[in-house]
Amino acid sequence: MTNLLLFPILIPILTASVLLFFPKRIAAQRAVTVVGLVASIIAALFLLRTVMTDGVQAVTLGSWPAPFGISMVSDPLSVSLVLTSLLITLGVVVYSFRSIGEGREKYFYYPAILFMLTGINGSFTTGDIFNLFVFFEVLLLASYLLIVLGGEKRQLRESIKYILVNVVSSAFFVTTVAMLYSVVGSLNMADIAEKVTEIGQSGILTVIAVMLILVFGLKGAIFPLYFWLPGSYAAPPVPVLALFGALLTKVGVYAIIRTVTLLFPHDPGFTHELLMILAILTVIAGCIGALAYYDLKQIVIYNIIIAVGVILFGVAQMNMAGLEGAVFYLIHDMLIKAGLFMLIGVIIAITGTSNLREMGGLMKTYPGLAWTWLVAAFGLAGIPPLSGFFGKLLIVQGAFEADNLWGGIIILASSLIVLLSVIRIFIHAFWGEPMPVKGTSAGIYRGLLIPAVLVTALTVFYGVGTEWLRPLMWDAAEILHQPSIYIDAVLKE
Amino acid sequence: MEFHMIILVGILVTVAVYLLLSRNMIRIILGTAVLSHAVHLLLITMGGAGEGGVPLLRESDGPYADALPQALILTAIVISFATTAFLLVLAYRTYEESGSDNMNTIRRIDRE
């Protein structure tokens, strides 16, 4: 079935369209959403099996020959990102039942999530750079709705900022696509890659490459462009924050990975060096932020920025170890960030505050939550055998192989700061004298904790099952390392 | 033709940046609208404006004009239309909540 790779995009958009007809019937909304997500996950699993056995899948819409029609491409990297996004969204949707509140559920919360998922899966799958812009806009418009839904004053203030930043960055994106089209004369990413190899990466193409890094860096929150992120992500309620933190920045990171490995890999002395410096600065800026705050949300949000830096540092090495580590770490980070945000949601639901100074002693009353947090925190910091370890090991190995000794050491040192920042939450929230808390009913506590535990268990499985996942990650990194496999798969028809 | 278009794009971007940097929310939104127009003009210019005949087989013998940038602009216009509409509604709602369209006042809502 050649159209299989379209199903993880089509099923969410169809489900969302159906949901628009009966917004006030919450039970039906929930049921249809879960059914749609499960169906998408099954489709994505089939797709994963097909990609693993038959290699890269490509389909060109309308049966036009490849460089003329819009290509959709599923390689091991994109299909594993699609599957991870779907799993996380299912977890967050189940988590939302007990936390998002009826008001939001009645006003198109679930359709917005599914439309955003359409955009995310589309961005991961598309093989056409203008189509990438369109899917970016799909996910952005849905995210505008999610960030402002509820209409609290703080949300309104942050939404304006978020939307303006993204509108300007979209304008930059279109400008860059226009320039790329005038130089190369194609929009198909495989075709562009081939043409850039033929004509050589001249100065103007390097300028375009840097502009693309800036456009995607604005969405992926790399060093000088992350200023909007901590405020905007903290405004919406926790389930939305979990989705944004786990998925949205990673779309930007994925697009940067494609830019520097597929489209413009020919001038590593400039573009990859630049990316590496920006990545290290991103890690340092994130570390400073993660230690500076006493606010649960802010600490974990700054950890997103650190992770973006670590992944891009791995990509900038451009050797197999670095790229494989980056792919490993990318998927690890999506899962673990979703888990961490869901867990701080539980803490906030119990204590009624996100300020670390106003909580303590939860260990005695909520031991299950405490131990899950500890496992997730160790996973984030990369303590073996949990999920963060292997990706970081490979990234550091890649850095040493590429003679970037200091970069590797900074990445290693950042793990300690990451560990410190999340253990600080553990110490303040779970140890010490019990503070009077708002408390929450046992039903809500279970309803929130169970999805959070499941996502955390998934990360543990991801870490322990590294050996089992290795072939998939190896294939993904090999295609990034040798783009000709990707190009041949798209242009062969 | 292309040279003049590029100059025009530059002027439009200048206007857009000036508007985006102002404090009044409606001016900022107009700035994003002007910026998107500038970008669309750039897109059509980059495809080679004013060159070639109608891209229909029996209407002219070629060379044909490139039809692709026009399709791209159509898509981009629809997207920026939707975004601008959303921003205008958001601005109105924010004005209702805060009683101001001045970004300096809005920046402080919920922080006092």
* Cα dihedral value A304, A74, A186, A132, nearest 10: -40
Number of H helices, E strands in chain A: 22, 2
pLDDT reported for residue A268 = 86
CA-closest candidate to residue A92, choices A260, A342, A286, A285: A342
Q: Which residues pair with A71 in a beta bridge?
A: A60
In which residue are the tokens 């190899």 written? Answer: A197
- In tens, the pLDDT along A421-439 reads 999 999 988 888 887 777 7
**End-to-end Cα distance, chain B:** 54
A263-303 pLDDT tens trace: 999 888 899 999 999 999 999 999 999 999 999 999 999 99
By C-alpha distance, which of A457, A6, A456, A76 is closest to A254?
A76
Residue A114 burial (C-beta neighbours within 10 Å; 0-12, 13-18, 19+): buried
Assign A60 to helix, strand or coil. Answer: strand
Average pLDDT over residues A50-55: 90
The more confident residue out of B112 and A200 is A200
Predicted local confidence at residue A359, as pLDDT = 85
A190 pLDDT tier (thresholds 50, 70, 90): very high
Question: B104 burial class (0-12, 13-18, 19+ CB within 10 angstroms)?
Answer: exposed
Q: Considering the entire predicted model, what is its pTM? A: 0.94
Give the pLDDT band of residue B82 (cuts 50, 70, 90).
very high
In this prediction, the answer to ipTM > 0.90 reads yes
Q: SS3 for chain A, per residue?
A: CHHHHHHHHHHHHHHHHHHCCCCCCHHHHHHHHHHHHHHHHHHHHHHHHHHHHHCCEEEEHHHCCCCCCCEEEECHHHHHHHHHHHHHHHHHHHHHCCCCCHHHHHCCHHHHHHHHHHHHHHHHHECEHHHHHHHHHHHHHHHHHHHHCCCCHHHHHHHHHHHHHHHHHHHHHHHHHHHHHHHHCCCEHHHHHHHHHHHCCCHHHHHHHHHHHHHHHHHHCCHHHCCCHHHHHHCCCHHHHHHHHHHHHHHHHHHHHHHHHHHCCCCCCCHHHHHHHHHHHHHHHHHHHHHHCCEHHHHHHHHHHHHHHHHHHHHHHCCHHHHHHHHHHHHHHHHHHHHHHHHHHHHHHHHCCCEHHHCCCHHHHCHHHHHHHHHHHHHHHCCCCCCHHHHHHHHHHHHHHCCCHHHHHHHHHHHHHHHHHHHHHHHHHHCCCCCCCCCCCHHHHHHHHHHHHHHHHHHHHHHHCHHHHHHHHHHHHHHHHCCHHHHHHHHCC
**Residue A180 token pair:** 């790329």
Query: What pLDDT digit, counting tens, does each position of A328-356 carry?
Result: 999 999 999 999 999 999 999 998 888 88
Domain boundaries of chain B, sorted by first residue: 2-111
- Residue A148 to residue A140: CA distance in whole angstroms: 12
Q: How confident is the model at residue A493 (pLDDT cuts 50, 70, 90)?
A: low
Longest dimension (CA), chain B: 69
CA angle A78, A91, A118 (to 5 degrees): 45
Chain A residues in contact with B106 (beta carbon < 8 A): 156-157, 160
Is A74 in a helix, a strand, or coil?
strand
Interface of B with A in 81-110 (CB under 8 A): 82-83, 86-87, 90-91, 93-94, 97-98, 106-107, 109-110
Q: Any idea what the Cα angle at residue A288 is, between residues A282 and A290, rounded to 5°?
A: 95
Q: What angle do CA A387, A391, A393 make, to 5 degrees?
A: 110
Contact yes or no for A329/A314 (Cβ under 8 A): yes
Decide if pLDDT at A187 tops 60. yes
Cβ contact B106–A134 (<8 Å)? no
Collect all residues from A whose CB is shorter than 8 A from any CB in B: 130, 133-134, 137, 141, 144, 148, 151-154, 156-157, 159-160, 163-164, 167-168, 170-171, 174-175, 177-179, 181-182, 187
Residues of A in contact with B86 (CB under 8 A): 141, 144, 163
Strands (E), B2-82: none
Least trusted range by pLDDT, from A477-481, A486-490, B48-52 = B48-52
Give the pLDDT of residue A167. 93
Do B87 and A152 count as a contact with CB atoms less than 8 A apart?
Answer: no
From B58's Cα to the closest Cα of chain A, the distance in A is: 21
Residue A159 to residue B107, Cβ atoms within 8 A: no
Q: Please indicate whether, in this complex, the C-beta atoms of B69 and A178 are within 8 angstroms of each other.
A: yes
Is A400 within 8 Å of A408 (Cβ atoms)? Answer: yes
**Residue tagged 């994109």 (tokens):** A78
Return d(Cα A409, Cα A427) in angstroms, integer: 27
Distance CA A231, CA A127 (A): 33
Task: Say if residues A81 and A330 touch (Cβ distance below 8 Å).
Answer: yes
Distance CA A319, CA A316 (A): 9
List chain B residues with CB under 8 Å of A164.
Answer: 20, 28, 32, 87
What does the pLDDT average to over A49-53? 92
Report the CATH architecture of B2-111.
Orthogonal Bundle (1.10)
* B63 DSSP assignment: P
**How much is the pLDDT for A431?**
87
Contact B83 A141 (CB under 8 A): yes
Q: What pLDDT score was predicted for residue B102?
A: 85
How many beta-carbon pairs under 8 angstroms link A with B? Answer: 94
pLDDT at A14: 96
The per-residue pLDDT for A1 is 54
Identity of the residue in B45, B69, B109 whose CB atom sits nearest the CB atom of A157: B109
Q: Cβ(A51)–Cβ(A418) under 8 Å?
A: no
Quick: pLDDT tens for A352-397.
888 888 888 888 888 899 999 999 999 999 888 888 899 999 999 9
- DSSP character string of A410-465: HHHHHHHHHHHHHHHHHHHHHSSSPPP-----HHHHHHHHHHHHHHHHHHHHHHHT
Confidence of residue B105 (pLDDT cuts 50, 70, 90): confident
